[in-house]
Amino acid sequence: MPRPLDRRDREHRRDARPDEVERRLQPLLVAREDDDDVGVLRRLRLRRRPDEEDEAGDEPRGDDRRRGDDGPAQHSATVLSPPVSAVLFTCAGQRVDIVTAFQRAGARTIATDVNRLAPALYHADAHAFVPRIDDPDYVATLRALVHEHDVSLVVPLTDLDHSVLSRARDRLGALVLLPQPELVDALADKWLAHLLFVEHGIGSPDTWLPADVPADLAFPVLVKARRGFGSRGIYRCSDRRELEFFLGYATEDSMVQACCGGEEFSIDLFCDLESRCLNAVPRTMIESKGGESIKGMTIADDELVEVGRFVSETIGLVGPANVQCFREPDGTHRVTDINPRFGGAFPLPTAAGSRYPELALELAAGGRPEPRLGDFRPDLYMTRFFSELVLSAGPDGTLQPFAEELPQPLVEP
């Protein structure tokens, strides 16, 4: 089945024969509705209010413009992905990088979001507008999509619906790449996550609830929202006065955590259904903005690979995860956060040959890939830039992507 125009299509569009151009512009899927009122589109028909918030709006945007012949580094033999009928992405938002990576791995992609302007929708092979995650029909809508498209794998792209999906895994009819609900809940609350780490012998910075802060507290410390994300609700305090101010200023339930004095790293890893760590790719945090990795580099560091393996297998992670930690001056490691999803810097471990989409597809097909810890290419740098997707509104209110060489449209308005 044909796919939406990709970069190479757009680059050669001017030289294409008229019949070839017409072929590329054919609708890929006629809009239809099922009994659950799910509009599944390739010719895009708006199904939700335009002012609804993008559930993944704060997530970093990916870019698929480097997916030509010089793809991910071939550090070792490629994992051959068994055929998968479809992969369903929830809260797709701006994660074009992840959707297109699964396409390159051979999957047919179905992206969902509540916001019609979520760019990842228009890079998938098909997409659907779904209710908000707190809507009682959210799971039923996803289940209908799974049935309609013969979906074998469900991949949530933000933390927002983890709790819902982890509890609905047996009702969706497809493999959901999430750990058990209890672990999902603990990792979503930084205080509970700290207690979990301490319980399992995982290094974690000293942390207190506001009522339990010791009188001899050493500064600086951080006031952190327990359920914050994207660096929201985090305040650095250099003395007691600032601590009291920010505890009073914070509108969310917060905690107090000691500042780490070492270098910060992220470890992008992937576990199978038995929580075996299949690979772990450490990277530096050269520059971040609003919790988003802007610049970083993959590094060959056996200690960090082992941190990723130990942490993931100890607490029972399933599927992708991102472990954030500090290497302290004494050589110990302190884990501050674990996100049980693909990380914001997903393009970097992908370029390094992590093969995480291929591993996910193999799990969905019933395979049991063997761990290949440390099998990736180090010393790759990532530096991010702004990109965009321009859409044209048709007379019926549907949206269609414009070509990069504006103002020439891909379709007639």
pLDDT tens digits, one per residue of 298-338: 999 999 999 999 999 999 999 999 999 999 999 999 999 99
* Residue where one domain finishes, among candidates 240, 258, 276: 258
Mean local confidence (pLDDT), 147-157? 97
Mean local confidence (pLDDT), 378-406? 86
Q: Are residues 161 and 23 in the same domain?
A: yes
Instruction: Dump pLDDT digits (tens) for 341-350.
Output: 999 999 999 9
User: Residue 368 belongs to a domain with what CATH number?
Assistant: 3.30.470.20
Rounded distance between C-alpha atoms, residue 127 and residue 66, angstroms: 23
Answer yes or no: is 196 within a domain. no
Closest residue by Cα to residue 114 from 49, 178, 17, 70: 49
* Residue 406 reports pLDDT greater than 50: no
Residues contacting residue 370 through CB under 8 Å, at least 6 positions apart = 278
Q: Are residues 126 and 49 in the same domain?
A: yes
What is the number of structural domains in the chain?
Answer: 3
Q: Are residues 85 and 154 in the same domain?
A: yes
Q: Are residues 317 and 361 in the same domain?
A: yes
Average pLDDT, the chain: 83
Q: Are residues 239 and 266 in the same domain?
A: no
According to DSSP, the residues that pair with 381 across neighbouring strands are: 297
Q: Are residues 311 and 242 in the same domain?
A: no
Q: Are residues 216 and 301 in the same domain?
A: no
Instruction: Dump pLDDT digits (tens) for 180-193.
Output: 999 999 999 999 99
Q: Are residues 299 and 152 in the same domain?
A: no
Answer yes or no: is 410 within a domain. no
Domain span at residue 250 reads: 209-258
Q: Are residues 158 and 242 in the same domain?
A: no
Residue 37 region, left (φ>0) first, then alpha (ψ -120 to 50), else beta? left
Answer yes or no: is 2 within a domain. no
Q: Are residues 244 and 349 in the same domain?
A: no
Strand-pair category, 87-90 with 153-156: parallel
Q: What is the full DSSP assignment across 357-397? A: HHHHHHHHTT--PPP-TT-S--S-EEE-------EEE-TTS
Number of alpha carbons in the 13 Å side-chain half-sphere of residue 299: 16
User: Residue 98 belongs to a domain with what CATH number?
Assistant: 3.40.50.20
Rounded distance between C-alpha atoms, residue 6 and residue 72, angstroms: 17
Answer yes or no: is 319 within a domain. yes
Pick 350 or 85 by higher pLDDT: 350
Instruction: Dump pLDDT digits (tens) for 237-285.
Output: 999 999 999 999 999 999 999 999 999 999 999 999 999 999 999 999 9
* Residue 110 reports pLDDT greater than 60: yes
According to DSSP, the residues that pair with 283 across neighbouring strands are: 266, 298
Contact 343, 228 (CB under 8 A): no
Answer yes or no: is 200 within a domain. no
Q: Are residues 238 and 143 in the same domain?
A: no
Answer yes or no: is 411 within a domain. no
Instruction: Dump pLDDT digits (tens) for 27-72.
Output: 333 333 333 333 333 333 333 333 333 433 343 333 333 333 444 4
Rounded distance between C-alpha atoms, residue 259 and residue 249, angstroms: 20
Q: Are residues 28 and 169 in the same domain?
A: yes
Answer yes or no: is 372 within a domain. yes
